[in-house]
Amino acid sequence: MRRKLLIAIPYFWLLVLFLVPFLIVLKISLSDTAIARPPYTPTLDLSLGWAGVKDFFSQLDMENFTFLTEDALYWKAYLSSLEIALVATLATLIVGFPIAYGMAKAPSEWRPTLMMLIILPFWTSFLIRIYAWIGILSNEGYLNQILLWSGIIDEPLKIINTTMAVYIGIVYTYLPFMILPIYATLEKLDESLLEAAEDLGCSRLSAFWLVTLPLAKPGIIAGCFLVFIPAIGEFVIPSLLGGSQTLMIGKVLWEEFFSNRDWPVASAVAVILLLILVIPIILFQRNEQKNREEG
């Protein structure tokens, strides 16, 4: 009984903080826009009794979802979000793996300091850090100034307001989420496994491919999901760094809500985004569970 009660607490939490808001959004996505407060119809009026409930459900329809398939903007935004998230995840992995590897190989007395340095950026507001990148990447920014001054380029590089800037922003922001799980697996790696591989005829490089990488796989997969899942719905980075050129679903969602005040369409966009994300989230859960069973 006590155990059930204990389990009930997180379930209740999920119900209140996840399922109920989701149902509200789902309901709005099935409604129509209205010039009213809230800006959609129907709203449930329980004073009318059973007839009111029936009337309420009869007015819900899939109209907004059909609309999303008709306008190319939406599926293009979904696709481009997927693409940006995929490329950015890969780039984060390429940058993050060597850092995690270096941390795991560093003398053990340095590791807490290095870990601290990885987490340190979180102490500053995310928004301020992204604004700082505008200062670095803009045409008159520090990066261009240094490159012009050193004579490497003659014309300022156009980085800000391009997809490139979005990639830089995502890699920068989500790097710790990639590094930490990979570091956790690499740190556990028994050095004698690599010696055994060498002893059995591997070069250093092939020992890395055949032993280090397969054993770091759970960490790599976890890191990739931890970057990919939030990156796909990212809104702040594309709107501040990507300018008008970058099409991402998070931005579309924001515009539907606040510029168009079309809550039902915006909710439909959100519901579909969630459905797209459910697949990688389930895969991520499977990966974690498999690791727990093997560990």
Partner 1 sequence: MNDNNGNTDFAPWEDPAEKPLIEFRNVTKRFGDFTAIDDLSINIYDKEFYALLGPSGCGKTTLMRMLAGFETPTEGQILLDGQDMAAVPPNKRPTNMMFQSYALFPHLSVAENIAFGLKRSDMPKSEIAGRVDEMLRLTRLEQFGKRKPHQISGGQRQRVALARSLAKAPKLLLLDEPLGALDKKLRQDTQFELMDIQEKTGTTFVIVTHDQEEAMTVASRIAVMDAGRIIQVATPDRLYENPNSVYVADFIGEINLIEGKAEPLGDKLTEIHWAEGEAPIIGTAPADLAKGTACHFAIRPEKVAISSERPETHANAVQGQVHDIAYLGNISTYHVKLKNGQIIKAQAANNRRLSRRNFTWEDPVWLSWTDTAGVILTQ
Residues that bind partner 1 (CB under 8 A): 190, 192-193, 195-203, 206, 210-211, 214-215, 217, 294
CA distance 133 to 234: 16
Shortest distance in whole angstroms from residue 284 CB to partner 1: 20
Shortest distance in whole angstroms from residue 226 CB to partner 1: 22
Shortest distance in whole angstroms from residue 200 CB to partner 1: 3
CA distance 113 to 140: 34
Show the 3-state SS of 186-245.
HHHCCHHHHHHHHHCCCCHHHHHHHHHHHHHHHHHHHHHHHHHHHHHCCCHHHHHHCCCC
Shortest distance in whole angstroms from residue 206 CB to partner 1: 8
Instruction: Pick the closer one to partner 1 by CB: 171 or 222.
Output: 222
Instruction: Pick the closer one to partner 1 by CB: 54 or 286.
Output: 286
Instruction: Pick the closer one to partner 1 by CB: 10 or 201.
Output: 201
What b/e readout covers 168-188, taking b as 16+ CB neighbours within 10 angstroms? bbbbbbbbbbbbbbbbbbbee
Shortest distance in whole angstroms from residue 292 CB to partner 1: 13
Shortest distance in whole angstroms from residue 202 CB to partner 1: 6
- The C-alpha angle with vertex 111 and arms to 108 and 115, in degrees rounded to 5, equals 165
Torsion angle of C-alpha atoms 278, 282, 287, 293, degrees rounded to 10 = 150
Instruction: Pick the closer one to partner 1 by CB: 14 or 196.
Output: 196
SS3 175: helix
Instruction: Pick the closer one to partner 1 by CB: 197 or 271.
Output: 197
Instruction: Pick the closer one to partner 1 by CB: 192 or 244.
Output: 192
